[in-house]
Amino acid sequence: MTAAGLGQAYRSGLFGGLSVAGAVVFATFMGFGAFARDGGLTLLEAVLMTGAMYAVPGQVVMIDQVTQGAALATAALVATFTSVRFLPIAVVLMPHFLGGRLPRLPRLLLVVAVHFVSVTSYVEAMRLLPSLKPEHRLAYFLGVISTFSIFGVTGTALGHVVAGEVPGVVALALLYLTPLYFMLSVIASAVTTLDRLAALLGGVLGPLCYLASPDLYLLFAGLAGGTLAFAIARFVSSRRG
């Protein structure tokens, strides 16, 4: 693992971030910038929030809490809870980063990588990292998220500046590009019938689970959809056997 090789992997990641996923990040944060201005944040506050948090759902929740009169500490705590969903994503990605060479990696780089884990970066990582050498994966990922974070900050700034020119419904629509991109990526990356069935069942059960638990419906829909798809696959396999 040479410095030149890691540098090349990082630069490749920088250019790898210039993708459809990067455009989605830019547009999503542009929507957040417009939302932040409507919420009373200055341009500097909106940009600093994106740079420090890099999590649109958490940022939206925090602004919503503050505008409703909640204490800053309370708003920060609620926003933190919205990011708990990234824990399993980080756990899945960590073996790709480590590559069996943990003692040689600066721990700070792992902290930075995990901080910038998002739905979009997770999709890109799972699509691209397996084809790279294990020792180059972390450097490549850091390059990708560097580009994504630049897109996030510039998108936030642009959205804040043009907020008066963009209809509110358009700004809100931009915020939904990330979940839409994630859904389409899951469908596109489905390799087996089981994968497709799990995605389909999760989508069907989502609205029903929302009626039962608006706060945890994504968790319940994913767990129920995946479990049901697995049970169906096992049943069909046993009948064929």
pLDDT at 26 over 70: yes
In a domain, 41, yes or no: yes
In a domain, 53, yes or no: yes
* Whether residue 165 is found in the same domain as residue 197: no
* Whether residue 135 is found in the same domain as residue 232: no
In a domain, 58, yes or no: yes
* Domain termination site, one of 135, 154, 178: 178
* Whether residue 104 is found in the same domain as residue 222: no
Total number of domains constituting the chain: 2
The pLDDT tens digits of the residues spanning 50-70 come to 999 888 888 888 888 888 787
pLDDT category at 189 given cuts 50, 70, 90 is: low
* Whether residue 108 is found in the same domain as residue 205: no
Range of the domain at 27: 3-178
* Whether residue 125 is found in the same domain as residue 200: no
* Whether residue 172 is found in the same domain as residue 204: no
* Whether residue 149 is found in the same domain as residue 214: no
* Domain termination site, one of 146, 178, 210: 178
* Whether residue 68 is found in the same domain as residue 125: yes
In a domain, 86, yes or no: yes
pLDDT at 157 over 90: yes
What is the 3 state secondary structure string of the chain?
Answer: CCHHHHHHHHHHHHHHCCCHHHHHHHHHHHHHHHHHHHCCCCHHHHHHHHHHHCCHHHHHHHHHHHHCCCCHHHHHHHHHHHCCCHHHHHHHHHHHHHCCCHHHCCHHHHHHHHHCCCHHHHHHHHHHHHHCCHHHHHHHHHHHHHHHHHHHHHHHHHHHHCCCCCCHHHHHHHHCHHHHHHHHHHHHHCCCHHHHHHHHHHHHHHHHHHHHCCCCHHHHHHHHHHHHHHHHHHHHHHHHC
